Structure 1
Amino acid sequence: MWNPDASMENLYRSFALKREQQRAEWAELTKDQMKKRLASSLSVPMEGQDELRPVLLERVVLEDHVRERVEFGTLWGFRVPCYVLLPKGAVGRLPAVLALHGHGFGSRQIVGLRADGTAHTGAADVHGNYALEMVRRGFIVVVPEIIGFGDRRLEGDQRDGQVGNSSCQTLASHLILYGFSLAGLRVQEAIRALDYMVSREDVDASRIGCFGFSGGGLLAAYTAALDERIRATVLCAFTNTFKGSIMAVRHCIDNYLPGALDYAELPELIGLLAPRPLFIASGKQDPIFPIETVETAVSYLEQVYAEVNASEHLGVHLYEGVHQVNGSQAYPWLVEVLKR
């Protein structure tokens, strides 16, 4: 047999053994070392960082909230369009949530809009309009357009009225030639979105959360691991092992992080958030983040949180459903953590 399956399995096992040996050598420095390695994997040249220079593009007063569209700078000349949802009539500084969308047609998909910007009045899709759900619970919600989706696709991917496709493949492969990853660029832009959030006079910088679905969950996990301004994190339809998810099922190239298995499996990277509050939500019938390895990851995270006496800071909701948002427990959890 000439197929590479057995050799690839042996490669995974050899790296797992290497990580075990590293743990023994690092002892008490394991978490710090892992965070440094993650930061290195996600690094991009930051000498090109731009000033935020936020610009208000529109402001729409709706029945129960106000929707602003703002743009701000990140790096290399990129300008990021971003929806900001504000509870109607709220005063003073409020808790805020950075909402990171998954694959689809971009930021509009979670703020109650169609891909063309018109109001969506039907039933919510798999994204569940979670930005809307959170503004209705009293949060300021910041929803950046992640590069490669919606209005931030490459020009060629926006032709002929295409909706819901992405520029992930092209962007990721081109960035490899420069020596860094699409995940790294997106995380750095998410950090700049946090910079924008804390610059707003209506945001309480001590009460910031992050909610990510699917690919947005990846960004939420890695951004929160590196930036402790995020006090609480919800990971929906993402938590798993590399082996059980992106190595077992064909996923978008934006999920792959150079060199990650040299120092960590995915649950260990998510574990870097401890002891800060973390909520895991995942569908039992999700075909691309299988429940069996969700449970493996959750078991590991329970151990990590117990070791730092923070078991009460870890929430889990495994629900009946496929690859979709179910915030029935995550939303009230965020309210409890950020608004108390």
Structure 2
Amino acid sequence: MTTVDMAASPTRPSALAGYEDWPAYAAKHRFAAELTAGPPEARQLADTLGVPAVIPDIEYTVLAESEHDGVITSHLQWQLGFGPATSAWFVRPARATGPQPGLLALHCHGGIKAYGAERLVRFEHNPEDNDGGISAAVASGFSSLALPPLDVRAKLYGGRALATWLARHGFAVLAHDAFMWGSRRFELDPLPWRTANAVNGRKALWREAGVELSVAEHYDAAAASHEETVAKAATLIGTTVAGTVAHDDLAALGVLASLPGVDRDRLGCLGFSGGGGRAMVLGALSPLIRSYVVTCMMTTFESLLPSYLDAHSWLLHSPGLAGLGDWPDLAIRSTAEKVLVQYALDDPLFPERGMRDAHQHLVEGMPARYTGSFWQEPHVFTRAMQDEAAAFLTSALQPRPTTATHAPDPARTAS
């Protein structure tokens, strides 16, 4: 929408298109402390972030299913009560015998909101060989889904489809679109006026540079500016961006626990970048999470001032969060038995001092539960880091030992 279009329009377009029902839902579903079934620290965090209560017993629909490369990939969908329906992909070993440990694979922010969890899933017909943007999903029975540009997978994940790779290693993995991403994105056509003003300036620069963007890239540019508007709306209705994302993640965790072939006593999660922050918040909110991995998303709040503020989204900058402690204190609040944090020392989004201070804070705050590893890498989740994460979760999510009980031996029982 140009400035001329805005001047000619008799009404302002919705700033929450697709989510006009969000305020009413948030007002009706204030976080109920009893839903956490956890310690007071979890309820306090939920209140601070304004996490809306999750509708219990969410029903999901299986839209399509495909078996390839030793895994079964199911396209799921469920409705959360506000905004568009959630798309998710459940990937599990094809030849599994007995229940498998369940993982939520939490997609990163990446500045890419046109799609979400697809970046973590490999679809049939070997889409890794495509040149990005060609939909192999149609051929594999996944409706008209458009696959993400595969360069983000190559750039950030070592070329691996993380959820599919983890399923090949014995996990039952659910990857879902979070609030603001993919199927849960906002409708930005027409653009809200403030967002349009920001995007129009960028379009002028693109034209001057001779840059032509795809439809998805245009959407991502608009969504980057629109996140400020979403954060404002969240404040007005008593929640936060991170709190509403956590709502979606808690709902997905409930779905994962209900899926066939998942051992609900062995649940974990992992994520890179913004996904790592989501993993830490989820671990602090839900006692169902036994173990989790945070990759490239750990520092201290102090270290972000003044130079690193603009490096991060509203997932990290939640109003009121600092009142509960520092960022690593979220991990200390969790009841998870084992936590791995992976630091990338060449990460341009975090100063090394902040990462090392956070590491020391965790060593002192949860010595028996915490493991930290340092990598001489930029802001990436390399294959070697993924290997370490998978090995860590495999060990942490072993079946709990059973305590056998035996009837007393009459010969050894006093009469």
- When normalised by structure 1's length, the TM-score is 0.81
Query: SS in structure 2 opposite 1:303?
Result: helix
Look up the match of 1:41: 48
Query: SS in structure 2 opposite 1:162?
Result: helix
- When normalised by structure 2's length, the TM-score is 0.67
Q: Distance in 2 between matches of 1:294 and 1:211?
A: 18
Worse overlay, 267-276 or 257-266: 267-276
1:124 aligns with 2:149: no
1:112 aligns with 2:112: no
Q: Distance in 2 between matches of 1:316 and 1:102?
A: 20
The letter for the 2-side match of 1:317 is: S
The letter for the 1-side match of 2:157 is: H
Deviation of the 1:33 alpha carbon: 5.7
Look up the match of 1:211: 270
Structure 1 residue ranges without an equivalent (≥5): 1-30
Worse overlay, 214-223 or 71-80: 71-80
The letter for the 2-side match of 1:107 is: A
Deviation of the 1:158 alpha carbon: 10
Structure 2 residue ranges without an equivalent (≥5): 1-37, 124-131, 137-146, 192-213, 400-415
Go from structure 1 to structure 2 and tell me whether the alpha carbon gap of 1:76 and 1:293 turns closer, same or farther (over 3 Å shift).
same
Look up the match of 1:13: none
Look up the match of 2:326: 265
CA deviation digits over 1:229-266, x for unaligned, max 9? Answer: 01001001101112223764112223221211223111
Aligned length: 304
CA deviation digits over 1:254-298, x for unaligned, max 9? Answer: 322121122311111221125620000121100112332111111
Deviation of the 1:55 alpha carbon: 0.2
The letter for the 2-side match of 1:186 is: V
**CA-atom RMSD in angstroms:** 2.6
Q: Distance in 2 between matches of 1:154 and 1:116?
A: 23
Aligned pairs for 1:116-195 within 5 A: 117-118=135-136, 124-128=154-158, 129-156=161-188, 161-163=215-217, 165=220, 166=223, 168-195=227-254
Go from structure 1 to structure 2 and tell me whether the alpha carbon gap of 1:89 and 1:34 turns closer, same or farther (over 3 Å shift).
closer
Whichever of the two has the greater Rg, that structure is: 2
Contact kept? 1:94, 1:202, Cα under 8 Å: yes
Deviation of the 1:95 alpha carbon: 0.5
Q: Distance in 2 between matches of 1:134 and 1:279?
A: 16
Look up the match of 2:206: none
Aligned pairs for 1:1-340 within 5 A: 34-46=41-53, 49=55, 52-76=58-82, 78-103=84-109, 104=112, 105-112=115-122, 117-118=135-136, 124-128=154-158, 129-156=161-188, 161-163=215-217, 165=220, 166=223, 168-245=227-304, 248-249=307-308, 250=310, 251-273=312-334, 276-306=337-367, 310=368, 313-325=369-381, 326-339=385-398
Deviation of the 1:331 alpha carbon: 1.4
Worse overlay, 51-60 or 148-157: 148-157
The letter for the 1-side match of 2:103 is: V
Go from structure 1 to structure 2 and tell me whether the alpha carbon gap of 1:301 and 1:83 turns closer, same or farther (over 3 Å shift).
same
Go from structure 1 to structure 2 and tell me whether the alpha carbon gap of 1:339 and 1:275 turns closer, same or farther (over 3 Å shift).
closer
Contact kept? 1:106, 1:150, Cα under 8 Å: yes
Q: Distance in 1 between matches of 2:336 and 2:314?
A: 30
